Structure 1
Amino acid sequence: MEYCDGILCATHAELTDGIMTNAALMHACQRDKDLRVRRGCNGVSALYDINRLSAEYRTEAKRRHAATEAQAKARAFIDIIVIDQRAATYYEGVSIEGARGLSDEKRMLYTNSASILNACRVKLMKAEAEQKKVGKSRRVKMSDFWAAVAAHLPRVADIYPHSLPENPRVLQRKYQEYFRGGQPNYEVLISGKFRNKNAARVATPEQVAWLTKFLEHHTNLDGQEVADYYNTVCEAFGWPKVTRRTMLVWLQKLGWLVNAGRHGAKEYMNRYGMQNKRFAPTAPMLFWSLDGWTVELYYKKRTEGKRGGRTTYCNRMTVVVVLDPFNKYPIGYATGYQESPELIKAALRDATNHTAQLFGQRLRPVQIQSDNYQIKIMLPTYGMAEYVTPAQVGNAKAKPIEPYFRRLNHKYAKKCSGNWSGYGITSRKESQPNMEWLNAHKGQIPDEAGVRAQIEWIIESERAAKREEYVAGFSRIPADRLLPMPIESYLLNFGQETGYKNTLEGSGLNVRLLGERRTYDSFDLEFRKYAHLRWSIKYDPDNMQEVLAVSDEGDIRILLKEKHLQPMALADRRPGDAEELQKVKDFNDELKRTVIEYDRQATEIARESLLRHPDLGNPYITGILTDSRGQNKDRKSQYRLEYTDVTEETAYEESAGAGIAESTRDLY
């Protein structure tokens, strides 16, 4: 059965299925032309008005299709329901407590409920208009109307889920409240739970303030403890008491405000603070991140004491790793007993030397990221990069090397099953190794040399897997970002020191390195200028051809080269000895010219000063100043006169130096 133009109808198949014969139906149609409501054609079945059949057939049809009739009536009501878009827009903009809104399900329920009530109004207005035309005989009884609508609501909910009550009288009151004032009042459909209209035990600002202080207490009180403390205050003020469940609800509600007091500022910022999202460097050498890693590998250590020796098996080494996040390549590392400035420098030194192995020259990074460990001591070393960006204290998420350590532990260290110590202490117990097995087989735990070999295997395995990609990325480095590291900078940052001071002697700077006496010097005249200073020597044990001399204040730094050893016998002379000998001769000649020129300028300046101040007396009497010929007596009475012509003095100096022949003495 179905409704057609508001008339309850049945199809030909439904009527002829045991209710009446086809001949009887056709005969009834001949007698009543309005019995057939719709003719059948093109796959559409004919419909017949049930109420125009004889009482016998009408009763039987309604008995057989009672449920279908009710469904048909509900279908007729469903057909006039139109989704209220204004209601949908309103509920999308609803704000609860200033932040969150309604869920998708609630918005759909409230929108459908408003649309159903709008359909009820359309139906009532249509009945009212018909009543005005026909008269009171067609008056709609409200109790019957709302009972019928309430009966339709379960079937309507199959298509339009809603939150309307199915009780007719309650539904009528909801309708009247909804259309109070003549216009839809969408707010009345929202549950009072979302508007805090229900009775609340914690409602006033004073109550919330007390509750907040208990929730943010540094002892991290649980729900029951907070309830106990708060109820003590409630007794004094006459407030209603609360339960543990209420406190848990408030803890969730105020969590973003009180968690700083419960867990600390660092934990709060990690949980609620906004984090930056960054992408990996586009080329190698643009960014290095370094940190220390206590490797999850045990090693045994034997210690001797007055009462005998003892072997411990829970020792672990520390590795400082320098990571290039371009493809997470470990560009440098150093292993030690604990993290220290020396270990960090060793890792950076390894990273710098490794760049020479990969790219043919030592390079320095554009940027270095570190933690704040010994930052004041390490800043000069970190200064090898253009930019130094220490991560904020407590913000481990900012360092890409932190998750890298977890990956090394899981991928490589775990394979060393004989001495693997497991994950961090915050990991699940099920993920940790069997400590009973480790205790039973602790004899398999390697010594320090063995665990160092394991660490080297881990790093070299990582390098082997990623070296090709890393080297291929060298071409992506921008030209202005390719930063070579000069030997002076390398020695200053990573050079080892002898531990004592050295001064310049005639033979050069004599230094004892690794138990061997070596002599260094420089062809830079500036080195002679600071001959009075005591120098600290920085050197590279792998290449002691060059060292760096640094003053006590560190402001003067001069690169020295090891002196060339000349043979005593001319017969022992080797290729290159003559060139080195000539370099020394040229340097000494330049040194002489520099001293003579300096003395000449000083003499000229002093002589000019005396001419401006004749009251100082005849300077030649004191024997301090001589002329360019080294004469003093001949000038005693002429110091007020003009000086000898320059060309005259030049001719004299040339004649004085003529006739000096080169001798074998100049070869040494």
Structure 2
Amino acid sequence: MKFDPRNRLCIEGHEFIKTKENPGGLVPKGTYDSLKSRNKIEVLERGGNGRSVLIVYASLPEAYKELVIAKYGDPRAYVCKQPLLHLIRKDPRAEKFFLDYRYGENKCLPVGHVEKYVTAAAWLDMLVQVCKEKYFIRKQLGISKETFWKTVLELIVTHDILLPHSYKRLNEKIRQYQELSYASLIDWRFGNQNSAKIKDELSESMLLELIAHPNQHDDTVIARAYNQWAVQHAYAAITAATVGNHRRNNYYQLQLFREGSAAWYNQFGKQTKRNRPSAPLLLVGSDDNDVDLYFRDEHAGNEQQLVTRYYHRFKAVVISDAFNDYPLGYFYADNISTDLVKMAYLDAMHHIHQLTGSWYLPHQLQTDRWNLKALESFYQQIDAGYFPAAARAPRSKYIERTFGKRWHQHLRRFDNYAGNNITSRSRLNPDHLAKQKKLFPEKEEAFPILQTFIEGLRHERNPATGRSRQEEWIAAFNASDSSGQRCISDEQLLLIFGVSHTHTNTITNGGIRMTIKGQTHEYEIPDALYLRNVGKKVQLIYDPFDLSRILVTDGQQLRFVAHTQQKLPAARADYQEGDEARLWQHLHNKKELVKMITDKKRNRESLLEQNRTNAAALLQARVMIKEIKQQAEDNILEFIPSVTSDFDPLDLM
């Protein structure tokens, strides 16, 4: 406050107007502007260029005068205190000390407390100076010593200075400040242990170990246990509030033992920031999830009575592309299994084929460690450099974001939505669920519902681009040289993702017959492999989503893809376009097989004839043929020495 040139008492703008930068004012700026525009107050200065807005105190409505008095006391008495306030000078050294101050494990003071400590230090500097100079009060202020201290205490209260409000305690603080300087202003919360009850390493260790117990005891229980120990070791007793302060201040090192490594990792584990993949199929993840949709499960119970479970939920494995969280594939069942995981990946491969026209493997997989012993070899067939995500670290997997907010926004469209989970904050109204349960769809109706849900995620539009998630994925795939680098054939697809038939089959002159769930499927053998392999036992590997082709192998040197046998109509009346041509081609192929066999026989006979050999004669003769006998004798004589008079045949024995 100050007086204007006409000696009228005025309140300054920063004392009256409350803004974000000046929260200590009396009224919001909107209220001030309203009073000014309606000429309810007299304003002398507009502010700017270092000048402050001045509002004539006498022009204020009575209600606002009361606010001024409540905040600053009697304005005229307040103005009389201004000379004393002018003695307060901010000390840059104090500000530097409090900004540089560190305690505990490199903790610093909050900015608000730095400001309060700097202001308190400025006041104490002034009071120390006053105490040193005996006649300072009378010479500089022209008031008595008693009036000075009374005014000081009033101003400390009015200006909310972080100093004692009584003369005795204020003088104690001044003496302490003279001894310890700025450090004397820091209280126990920020490392000053002068008045703390937990002040040494032993007492702190005992308290923190009690708090860190995995049973997660309440603060009152911990305080009681600590006090029992404190009495025996001459330490001061503490309250539950003290336990709470130490628990909160040290939770970064206590949560690991109270709640486990997973909880600590999610809250305190330092994040490694990463950019999303630059193109589709560079990083694909999979994870299981409880699909939060309820279905009715009716089954026979005891005595063949029909029993209904109203809150059945399916388990699903979802394959998601980290490029834009696009769900490539999924598969669901009552329980998670290795087969469920493999079927989800096969579904993803079929969807990739549907979008691109070919089979493409992802460059990199990211999964959790569920049943890793059984699935690791499968993952490595897809990604040779596969390495599972860290245990109990969901944040490291992009797919976890797939099951977040947007996932549940789409689930909420269904009347059988189950809420985020059974115990979440967004748990649905149990009374509503009880009324709706008889309207839940049956378990057998799940497929179209879940398919609709996944398609909703795929076709969700990005507000920024106006394109659906699927459109963005396809456009990025077509624009990338990397996405399509791992194209594979039907044979590779069946080797990696196919399902082995439960037993071996035999290749017959009718082809290969495979029976699945009581239905027989017949497959054609390629002509180049037919004759050599008729009668051979083979293992069949099939694609459950597409039985039009299978992989046939004997586990050694035979492996080929067989396609569904195209049967011809027996009656000419049933012929369709191309059937007659296929019939003649089939008959021609049969003749070609016979011709191939006879040609091979003629080639063999011709070769033997050139070498003057007759296979049939060898089989029919009962004695050795003369020419062969003579040739054998000639061959053996080459190794026998010439006959002499002293030749003894026994020497050869």
The 5 A counterparts of 1:375-390 are: 375-382=372-379, 383-390=381-388
Cα deviation code 1:159-200 (max 9, x no counterpart): 8x74345667766665565456xxx93323333553443444
Indicate which of 108, 113, 119 corresponds to 1:101: 108
1:444 aligns with 2:445: no
Q: CA deviation at 1:522?
A: 7.9
Name the SS of the counterpart of 1:468 in structure 2.
helix
The 5 A counterparts of 1:618-633 are: none
Q: CA deviation at 1:239?
A: 4.1
Aligned match of 1:399:
397
Indicate which of 491, 494, 498 corresponds to 2:497: 494
- With over 3 angstroms needed to count, the CA separation of the structure-2 counterparts of 1:256 and 1:585, relative to structure 1, is farther
Contact 2:153–2:167 at 8 Å: present in 1 too? no
Contact 2:214–2:258 at 8 Å: present in 1 too? yes
The 5 A counterparts of 1:309-328 are: 309-312=305-308, 313-328=310-325
Contact 1:74–1:155 at 8 Å: present in 2 too? no
- Tell me which amino acid in the other structure corresponds to 1:372: R
Q: CA deviation at 1:96?
A: 1.9
Aligned match of 2:213:
217
The 5 A counterparts of 1:235-314 are: 235-305=231-301, 307-312=303-308, 313-314=310-311
- Tell me which amino acid in the other structure corresponds to 2:421: G
The 5 A counterparts of 1:604-619 are: none
- With over 3 angstroms needed to count, the CA separation of the structure-2 counterparts of 1:193 and 1:384, relative to structure 1, is closer
1:512 aligns with 2:514: yes
Contact 2:91–2:118 at 8 Å: present in 1 too? yes
Q: Percent identity?
A: 22
Q: CA deviation at 1:142?
A: 13
- Tell me which amino acid in the other structure corresponds to 1:88: E
- How many angstroms apart in 1 are the aligned matches of 2:141 and 2:6? 35
- How many angstroms apart in 2 are the aligned matches of 1:333 and 1:542? 13
Q: CA deviation at 1:150?
A: 7.0
- How many angstroms apart in 2 are the aligned matches of 1:333 and 1:535? 31
User: How many aligned positions are there?
Assistant: 530
Contact 1:422–1:433 at 8 Å: present in 2 too? yes
Aligned match of 2:80:
70
Cα deviation code 1:249-279 (max 9, x no counterpart): 3322332333233222222222222233333
Name the SS of the counterpart of 2:305 in structure 1.
strand
Name the SS of the counterpart of 1:188 in structure 2.
helix
1:151 aligns with 2:151: yes
- With over 3 angstroms needed to count, the CA separation of the structure-2 counterparts of 1:252 and 1:179, relative to structure 1, is closer
- How many angstroms apart in 2 are the aligned matches of 1:590 and 1:106? 103
- With over 3 angstroms needed to count, the CA separation of the structure-2 counterparts of 1:582 and 1:222, relative to structure 1, is farther
- Tell me which amino acid in the other structure corresponds to 2:476: G
- Tell me which amino acid in the other structure corresponds to 1:520: I
Q: CA deviation at 1:308?
A: 2.6
Contact 1:215–1:258 at 8 Å: present in 2 too? yes
Aligned match of 2:327:
330
- With over 3 angstroms needed to count, the CA separation of the structure-2 counterparts of 1:279 and 1:309, relative to structure 1, is farther
- With over 3 angstroms needed to count, the CA separation of the structure-2 counterparts of 1:70 and 1:517, relative to structure 1, is closer
The 5 A counterparts of 1:34-183 are: 67=77, 70-74=80-84, 76-78=86-88, 81=89, 83-118=90-125, 148=148, 151=151, 162-165=161-164, 178=177
- Tell me which amino acid in the other structure corresponds to 1:107: V
Aligned match of 1:433:
428
The 5 A counterparts of 1:566-605 are: none
- How many angstroms apart in 2 are the aligned matches of 1:166 and 1:237? 36
Aligned match of 1:484:
487
Contact 1:522–1:560 at 8 Å: present in 2 too? no
- With over 3 angstroms needed to count, the CA separation of the structure-2 counterparts of 1:559 and 1:258, relative to structure 1, is same
- With over 3 angstroms needed to count, the CA separation of the structure-2 counterparts of 1:540 and 1:145, relative to structure 1, is same
TM-score for both structures, normalised by structure 1: 0.66
Aligned match of 2:413:
415
- How many angstroms apart in 2 are the aligned matches of 1:576 and 1:103? 90
Higher-Rg member (1/2): 1
Name the SS of the counterpart of 1:515 in structure 2.
strand
- With over 3 angstroms needed to count, the CA separation of the structure-2 counterparts of 1:217 and 1:459, relative to structure 1, is same
- How many angstroms apart in 2 are the aligned matches of 1:192 and 1:392? 40
Name the SS of the counterpart of 2:492 in structure 1.
helix
- How many angstroms apart in 2 are the aligned matches of 1:397 and 1:459? 23
Contact 1:366–1:386 at 8 Å: present in 2 too? no
- Tell me which amino acid in the other structure corresponds to 2:393: N
1:366 aligns with 2:369: no
TM-score for both structures, normalised by structure 2: 0.67
Q: CA deviation at 1:349?
A: 0.9
Name the SS of the counterpart of 2:374 in structure 1.
helix
Name the SS of the counterpart of 2:96 in structure 1.
helix
Cα deviation code 1:594-642 (max 9, x no counterpart): x99xxxxxxxxxxxxxxxxxxxxxxxxxxxxxxxxx989636635899x
Q: CA deviation at 1:458?
A: 0.7
1:558 aligns with 2:584: no
- How many angstroms apart in 2 are the aligned matches of 1:380 and 1:330? 23
Q: CA deviation at 1:91?
A: 1.0
Name the SS of the counterpart of 2:403 in structure 1.
helix
Q: CA deviation at 1:348?
A: 1.0
- Tell me which amino acid in the other structure corresponds to 1:398: S
- How many angstroms apart in 2 are the aligned matches of 1:102 and 1:142? 39
- Tell me which amino acid in the other structure corresponds to 2:523: R
Q: CA deviation at 1:286?
A: 1.4
Name the SS of the counterpart of 2:560 in structure 1.
strand
- How many angstroms apart in 1 are the aligned matches of 2:338 and 2:188? 63
Contact 1:408–1:458 at 8 Å: present in 2 too? no
Aligned match of 1:467:
470
Cα deviation code 1:278-299 (max 9, x no counterpart): 3332221112222222222222
- How many angstroms apart in 2 are the aligned matches of 1:475 and 1:350? 21
Cα deviation code 1:19-77 (max 9, x no counterpart): xxxxxxxxxxxxxxxxxxxxxxxxxxxxxxxxxxxxxxxxxxxxx99737724523653
Q: Which runs of 5+ in 1 are unaligned?
A: 3-9, 16-63, 132-137, 597-629, 642-668
The 5 A counterparts of 1:344-359 are: 344-359=341-356
- With over 3 angstroms needed to count, the CA separation of the structure-2 counterparts of 1:632 and 1:444, relative to structure 1, is farther
Name the SS of the counterpart of 1:520 in structure 2.
coil
- With over 3 angstroms needed to count, the CA separation of the structure-2 counterparts of 1:118 and 1:531, relative to structure 1, is farther
